[in-house]
Amino acid sequence: MKKVLTIAGSDCSGGAGVQADLKTMSAHGVFAMSVIVSVVAENTSRVIDIENISTKNILAQIDAIYEDIGTDAVKIGMLSNEECMKAVAKGIKKYKPKNIVVDPVMYAKNGCPLMDENSIDALIKNILPIADLLTPNIPEAEKIAGIEIKNRDDMKKAAKIINEKGCKNVLIKGGHSLDDVTDVLYSNGIFYNFEDRKSTRLNSSHSG
């Protein structure tokens, strides 16, 4: 059985964060593990409080996983501040796991912030370089790339900018897009379009 680790915040309502990740992983038949970086008191309407776990404990949780079990893949979600980001990056660099997917969660589904906006630079510096795949939605991609996204061409431009900041592959999720729900993947200098579970090569050049 494949072993997958989620590093993220805990959502007491079970609709997001570690709880949602564990449900999804188990439904797909993998052994699910977690490192909790923040405890979030939230429900479907608002975020009430966020309590961050100490960096010492975050690193201890990562040590506990890798000294005994190990992983086949890692999914990194909510990282609320720079200290948390540095701790997670330190743990990942120590054990060098394969197949790291980073979902740079900045806002809850109800719009409440989950990440300190002053930590964008820390996210770019510490987390982007360890990601095999970064999966921001439109608002998150705008923050990381520093541009406004209005259409698919803007999604492609943002994906290339994010890639140049150090991330290996970038998948911008189009659920927040006004014109369609297409996801755009930028990988190895090529853009791909994903819509209704079908993929179409959009650009075979390295120029973007």
**CA torsion through residues 52, 10, 47, 106, sign:** positive
pLDDT at 198 over 70: no
Confidence category of residue 205, pLDDT binned at 50, 70, 90: very low
70 closest CA partner among 131, 21, 1: 1
If you ran DSSP here, which 8-state letter would residue 108 be given? -
| CA-closest candidate to residue 116, choices 142, 147, 79 | 79
Assess whether pLDDT exceeds 90 at residue 113.
no
The whole-angstrom separation of Cα 208 and Cα 202 is 9
62 Cβ neighbours under 8 A, 6+ residues apart: 7, 35, 88, 91, 92, 94, 95
Q: Which residues pair with 200 in a beta bridge?
A: 193
Q: Which band of pLDDT confidence, cut at 50, 70 and 90, is reported for residue 110? A: confident
Neighbour count for residue 99 (Cβ, 10 Å): 13
Helix boundaries (H) for the chain: 17-27, 55-66, 82-95, 120-122, 138-145, 152-164
User: What confidence score (pLDDT) does residue 102 get?
Assistant: 98
Question: pLDDT digit string (tens) for 18-50?
Answer: 999 999 999 999 999 999 999 999 998 899 999
The letter for the amino acid at 172 is I
**HEC profile for 144-157?**
HHCCCCCCHHHHHH
pLDDT at residue 176 in the model: 56
What's the Rg (C-alpha) of the chain?
Answer: 17
pLDDT above 80 for 56: yes
What is the predicted pLDDT for the residue at 201?
42
CA 46/CA 3 separation, integer angstroms: 32
Contact 79, 18 (CB under 8 A): no
